Amino acid sequence: MAFTRREGVRALLWLSPWLVGIAIFFVYPLASTVYFSFHRYDLFTLEFIGLDNWRYAFSDPRLLQSGLNTLWLVVFMVPAQVLFALGVAQLLTKVKSGSSLLRTLFYLPSLVPTVAGTVAFVYLLNPATGPVNQVLSWIGITGPDWFGSAAWAKPSLTLLALWGAGNTVMIFLAALLDVPKHLYEAAAIDGAGAWRQFRDITLPVISPVLMFSAVTGVIYAVQYFTQAMIASRVASGATDSAGTSFTPGYPDGALLTLPQHLFQTGFRDWSMGLACVHALLLFAVSMVFTLVLLRQFSRAEAAS
Amino acid sequence: MRSLPLAAAGLLALTLTACTAGNTAPPALGAKPTTTSTDPAALPAATLELWHGFSTDVETKAFEDAIAGFTTKFPQIKVVAQKGIQDAQITQAIRGGQAPDVAASFTTDNVAQWCKSGAFQDLTPVIAQDGIDLNVLPAAARSYTEFDGKRCTMPLLADAYGLYYNKALMKGEQPPKTLSELTELTKKLTVRDAEGNIEVAGFIPSFQYYENSPSHLGPMVGAKWYNDDGTSAIGSDPAWKQLLQWQKELVDWYGYDKLEKFRKGLGDEWGAEHPFFEGKVAMVLDGEWRNAMIASEAEDLDYGTAPMPVADDKPDLYGSGFTAGTVIGVPKGAKHPQQAWELVKYLTTDTESLVTLSNALRNVPTTKAAMDHPGLAKNERFATFLDIFAHPKTSTLPANVNSVFNQDAFSTFLIEWEKGAVKDLDAGLAGVDKRIDDKMKLSGG
């Protein structure tokens, strides 16, 4: 259909609040990020340096390392969190008595402030004074230096993420309770077992919710910052005093995520141009993951 | 539809102006001839905003007392102090055109950046105008307050680093003077349980332990951070290798895992459960401010202080150490730069004020006159640090625009090194050089 000029103007008028919003909060920051990425910028001096920031970024081993760490979180932590939350929610639907107490118990950790929860975990898992390794030693196991060894640091953070997955558990629980009972009854009459019921009834019905938590989980993982920063800092035992600088990533860069590297580059080294390159890469990575996930799910939806 | 290109043009304009915001500068320092400053009343009245990093009640009060000394001298000037300010806040305020008149920082890490970018005003013209002789400051203190010929800050109070030893744990031994004596004594004083876990450490060699940063330990071997052209000297100065090999031998003697386990079980550096207070470590590297903390947290501790031991083949270094300190200056965009400079000048060069402040904070005063002043409270333990500060070989971390990055790059490597993950030390140190130099190139230095 053909729009007249007047209609076009009117449409723009109706859209204008949104246009202004997206221009100020999305297009302008994005454009300036691109602009600054070609400059040497320390908040005081601005100097055009062409592709130097980009060249430096791609030869920076720390960027690769932080990118791989973030990828690890997306590939392992997000699925672990979704599966764990789904499992717990499924169990909670089966519990006959005391379910409200259990629901509260599983939800409570997500009310604990992130920083406090992380610090508590690091203390619990302290290799010298932590109770976890103490208990392990009673049964003859020498516990690892959880947040202090490169191999265990990310799994330890995953444990923390599972502990705090109460929000997702609640969302899944609501979705599971929303599956029409009669579908299960019909399936049971047709002789479908528990697994078959789960695969052919539960999963298709709750798949929009699964997709929602997978997408938000991935976006969250790509932006993962606070827990890793706090865990590194507390576990390293580094001192927090004037004149000492702290590098995120302890141990051995195992907890250096892309956003932390960006923060360090921009707000500790004041290399804003380089940090803008990191920001654009982060943006591209989140876009790619989100698009892939959306496509997977819409394909799965079309197939079912 | 005409509004779209307009909006786009507006956006572009915004993008372009955003980077020049905050450039509308009030009068810069030294632009106007000052009155011959012998007459305080000649200075016009003003209210100065001062940002500083002190945060505890005792520190804040001591600093405000020092400011009160200034306002008695210049009654027409009022000073409003803001406590607990970090460097990032200062940088952002200057950038946003909301700079205070005077800003002080606890770290010297950003001095190069501030001087180079002009974020802090160059004090050279007013120093010349007022005829201040900078030779009253030790060379190290002069060096960490300027960059590339621009003196944009002045040292307020300094920190000097030395060795603290617990007399009861020393078993009658004298503090070590060389690295090999330190090793020997550490082995002698360390106590372990049946499973080999450390109960008392002679000296903790880990670079990750509280004050054991490479900048603090480097002076023991006279190690150099930068070449004259600003490139990294870490790989080429054999002193670093000497330090690292000495350190690794001691770490291996403890066993890295045992040492890490011990280190992680220790109390907080700023709390009352500091391992030195608790008798868990016989000798520690620390700043002169630890004296004040021991006095308030562990007054019964019987301890002594000494300069750090030095490399066996460089005995002339003995008595020197690391120094750095609080810096203070006038940011770009200060509303009353002339009065601000008077305040900076008073706080950093007035002997009485420095002595009072040093007595209250138990930091090292920076000028020679203040150090020799009879009013400066000193006991033997504190005097050690005054001597270290005044020692001609005492060094600091030279100002560099990437100071934080460079220290990070080195520290990251040192953790790998002490853990035993580095097979080829020369190649590893060359890698540190490359990281520092590449970043230097990117920063246009």
Query: What domains are defined for chain A?
Result: 61-303 (1.10.3720.10)
Of A44, A237, A247, which is closest to B411 when you measure between CB atoms? A247
Written as one string, the DSSP assignment of B219-237 is: GGTT--SB-TTS-B-TTT-
Of A12, A41, A148, which is closest to B260 when you measure between CB atoms? A148
Instruction: Show residues of chain A in contact with B113, CB under 8 Å.
Output: 42, 270
Q: Which residue has the tokens 């991935």?
A: A218
CA atoms within 13 A of residue B345's CA, in its CB half-sphere: 22
Say yes or no: B406 and B306 in one domain.
Answer: yes
Say yes or no: B154 and B303 in one domain.
Answer: no
Coil, helix or strand at residue B400: coil
Q: Which residue of B has its CA nearest to A24?
A: B11
Residue whose C-alpha is closest to residue B154's, from B111, B195, B188, B187: B111
pTM equals 0.85
Chain centroid, CA B390 distance in Å: 16
Please check whether residue B165 lies inside any domain of the structure: yes
Q: Decide: residue B382, CB within 10 A, 0-12 exposed, 13-18 middle, 19+ buried.
A: middle
- Comparing B28 with A162, the larger pLDDT belongs to A162
Measured over the CA atoms of residue B126, residue B129, residue B132 and residue B135, the dihedral's sign is: positive
String of b and e for A116-147 (b: at least 16 CB within 10 Å)? ebbbebbeebbbbebeebeeeeeeeeebbbbb
Please give, rounded to a whole number of angstroms, the shortest distance from the CA of B15 to a CA of chain A: 6
Q: Stretch A67-79: mean pLDDT, rounded?
A: 94
Say yes or no: B140 and B284 in one domain.
Answer: no
Q: Are B204 and B284 in contact (CB under 8 A)?
A: yes
Rounded distance between C-alpha atoms, residue B431 and residue B333, angstroms: 40
Neighbours of B255 (CB within 10 A): 15
- Cα–Cα distances (Å) from B167 to A49, B152, B172, B319, in that order, read 58, 43, 7, 20
Q: For residue B433, what is the DSSP state?
A: H
Please give, rounded to a whole number of angstroms, the shortest distance from the CA of B63 to a CA of chain A: 17
What's the whole-number average pLDDT of chain A? 90
Q: Stretch B326-339: mean pLDDT, rounded?
A: 94
Please check whether residue B6 lies inside any domain of the structure: no
Q: Stretch A44-62: mean pLDDT, rounded?
A: 92
Q: What is the pLDDT of residue A242?
A: 55
Q: Residue type at A163?
A: W
Q: What percent of chain A lies above the pLDDT cut of 70? A: 96
Q: Are B53 and B106 in contact (CB under 8 A)?
A: yes
- Predicted confidence (pLDDT) at residue B20 exceeds the cutoff of 80: no
Contact between chains at A8 and B1 (C-beta distance less than 8 A): yes
Say yes or no: B198 and B255 in one domain.
Answer: yes
Confidence grade of residue B443 (pLDDT, cut at 50, 70, 90): confident
Say yes or no: B213 and B173 in one domain.
Answer: yes
Contact between chains at A243 and B324 (C-beta distance less than 8 A): yes
Contact between chains at A247 and B408 (C-beta distance less than 8 A): yes
Q: What is the pLDDT of residue A241?
A: 60
Instruction: Show residues of chain A in contact with B94, CB under 8 Å.
Output: 44
Please give, rounded to a whole number of angstroms, the shortest distance from the CA of B22 to a CA of chain A: 9
Please give, rounded to a whole number of angstroms, the shortest distance from the CA of B74 to a CA of chain A: 31
Q: Stretch B105-114: mean pLDDT, rounded?
A: 89
Q: Which residue of B has its CA nearest to A11?
A: B1
Coil, helix or strand at residue B327: strand
Instruction: Show residues of chain B in contact with A249, CB under 8 Å.
Output: 412
Q: Which residue has the tokens 């786009």?
A: B8
**Range of the structural domain that residue B94 is part of:** 26-159+323-390
Which structure tokens are listed for B314? 């460089």
Backbone angle region of B122, left / alpha / beta, with phi > 0 → left and psi within -120 to 50 → alpha: beta
Please give, rounded to a whole number of angstroms, the shortest distance from the CA of B283 to a CA of chain A: 18
Q: φ and ψ at A219, to 5 degrees?
A: -60, -40
Q: What percent of chain B lies above the pLDDT cut of 70? A: 91
- Predicted confidence (pLDDT) at residue A247 exceeds the cutoff of 70: yes
Of B19, B213, B442, which is closest to A271 when you measure between CB atoms? B442
Of B92, B213, B265, which is closest to A129 when you measure between CB atoms? B265
Q: For residue B271, what is the DSSP state?
A: S
Please check whether residue B259 lies inside any domain of the structure: yes
Instruction: Show residues of chain A in contact with B108, CB under 8 Å.
Output: 243
Crossing angle for the helix pair A99-107 and A166-177, nearest 10 degrees? 140
Neighbours of A260 (CB within 10 A): 22
Residue whose C-alpha is closest to residue A218's, from A71, A68, A111: A71
Q: What is the pLDDT of residue B17?
A: 39
Q: What is the pLDDT of residue A245?
A: 63
Please give, rounded to a whole number of angstroms, the shortest distance from the CA of B265 to a CA of chain A: 5
pLDDT, tens digit, 9 for 90 and up, residues B206-245:
999 999 999 999 999 999 999 988 899 999 999 999 999 9
What total of structural domains would you count in chain B?
A: 2
Instruction: Show residues of chain B in contact with A64, CB under 8 Å.
Output: none
Q: Stretch B256-276: mean pLDDT, rounded?
A: 90
Contact between chains at A44 and B405 (C-beta distance less than 8 A): no
Q: Are B281 and B203 in contact (CB under 8 A)?
A: yes
Q: What is the pLDDT of residue B27?
A: 64
Residue whose C-alpha is closest to residue B77's, from B101, B48, B50: B48
**Distance between start and end Cα atoms, chain B:** 47
Q: Which residue of A has its CA nearest to B414?
A: A252
Say yes or no: B147 and B280 in one domain.
Answer: no
- Comparing B11 with B432, the larger pLDDT belongs to B432
Q: Stretch B336-356: mean pLDDT, rounded?
A: 94
Coil, helix or strand at residue B5: helix
Say yes or no: B188 and B288 in one domain.
Answer: yes
Beta bridge partners of B284: B164
pLDDT, tens digit, 9 for 90 and up, residues A95-130:
888 888 999 999 999 999 999 999 999 999 998 889
Q: What is the pLDDT of residue A66?
A: 94
Please check whether residue B19 lies inside any domain of the structure: no
Instruction: Show residues of chain B in contact with A253, CB under 8 Å.
Output: 412
Contact between chains at B264 and A126 (C-beta distance less than 8 A): yes
Of A239, A247, A271, which is closest to B412 when you measure between CB atoms? A247
Q: Stretch B354-359: mean pLDDT, rounded?
A: 92
Q: Residue type at B241?
A: K
Q: What is the pLDDT of residue B55?
A: 81
Q: What is the pLDDT of residue B56?
A: 78
Residue whose C-alpha is closest to residue B364's, from B348, B385, B392: B385
Say yes or no: B255 and B327 in one domain.
Answer: no
Instruction: Show residues of chain B in contact with A6, CB under 8 Å.
Output: none
Say yes or no: B170 and B150 in one domain.
Answer: no
Please check whether residue B420 lies inside any domain of the structure: yes
Residue whose C-alpha is closest to residue B309's, from B217, B429, B190, B434: B217
Please give, rounded to a whole number of angstroms, the shortest distance from the CA of A158 to a CA of chain B: 22
Confidence grade of residue B23 (pLDDT, cut at 50, 70, 90): very low
Please give, rounded to a whole number of angstroms, the shortest distance from the CA of B240 to a CA of chain A: 19
Backbone angle region of A52, left / alpha / beta, with phi > 0 → left and psi within -120 to 50 → alpha: alpha
Say yes or no: B299 and B429 in one domain.
Answer: yes
Q: What is the pLDDT of residue B5?
A: 45
Please give, rounded to a whole number of angstroms, the shortest distance from the CA of B282 to a CA of chain A: 19
- Comparing B18 with B279, the larger pLDDT belongs to B279
Is the peptide bond prior to A251 cis by the omega test (within 30 degrees of 0)?
A: yes
Please check whether residue B46 lies inside any domain of the structure: yes
| Least confident segment among A60-64, A267-271, B109-113 | A267-271
Q: Which residue of B has its CA nearest to A50?
A: B442
Of B1, B18, B260, which is closest to A32 when you measure between CB atoms? B18
Confidence grade of residue B1 (pLDDT, cut at 50, 70, 90): very low
Instruction: Show residues of chain A in contact with B92, CB under 8 Å.
Output: 43
Q: What percent of chain B lies above the pLDDT cut of 90? A: 71
Neighbours of B27 (CB within 10 A): 12
- Predicted confidence (pLDDT) at residue B188 exceeds the cutoff of 90: yes
Pick the last residue of a domain from B347, B362, B390.
B390
pLDDT, tens digit, 9 for 90 and up, residues B26-37:
567 765 555 445
Instruction: Show residues of chain A in contact with B265, CB under 8 Å.
Output: 126, 128-129
CATH code for position B348: 3.40.190.10
Of A23, A42, A128, which is closest to B11 when you measure between CB atoms? A23
Please check whether residue B17 lies inside any domain of the structure: no
Task: Name which of B16, B288, B442 to mutate to probe chain A: the one with the most chain A Cβ atoms within 10 A of its Cβ.
Answer: B442
What's the whole-number average pLDDT of chain B? 89
Say yes or no: B294 and B258 in one domain.
Answer: yes
Please give, rounded to a whole number of angstroms, the shortest distance from the CA of A124 to a CA of chain B: 12
Q: What is the pLDDT of residue B237?
A: 96
Confidence grade of residue B153 (pLDDT, cut at 50, 70, 90): very high
Instruction: Show residues of chain A in contact with B411, CB under 8 Å.
Output: 247
Instruction: Show residues of chain A in contact with B7, CB under 8 Å.
Output: 19, 23
Say yes or no: B342 and B433 in one domain.
Answer: no
Q: What is the pLDDT of residue A177?
A: 92
Written as one string, the DSSP assignment of B149-199 is: TEE--EEEEEEEEEEEEETTTTTTPPPPSBHHHHHHHHHHH-EE-TTS-EE
- Looking only at the bridges linking them, the beta strands covering B154-166 and B281-287 are antiparallel
Q: Stretch B142-157: mean pLDDT, rounded?
A: 92
Q: φ and ψ at B395, to 5 degrees?
A: -130, 170
pLDDT, tens digit, 9 for 90 and up, residues A176-223:
999 999 999 999 999 888 899 999 999 999 988 998 899 889 989 999
pLDDT, tens digit, 9 for 90 and up, residues B61-79:
989 999 999 999 999 999 9
Q: What is the pLDDT of residue B204?
A: 97
Please check whether residue B426 lies inside any domain of the structure: yes
Q: What is the pLDDT of residue B13?
A: 43
Contact between chains at B210 and A239 (C-beta distance less than 8 A): yes
Q: Give the A:B interface size as CB pairs under 8 Å.
A: 117
Contact between chains at A245 and B408 (C-beta distance less than 8 A): yes
Q: Residue type at B60?
A: T
- Predicted confidence (pLDDT) at residue B98 exceeds the cutoff of 80: yes
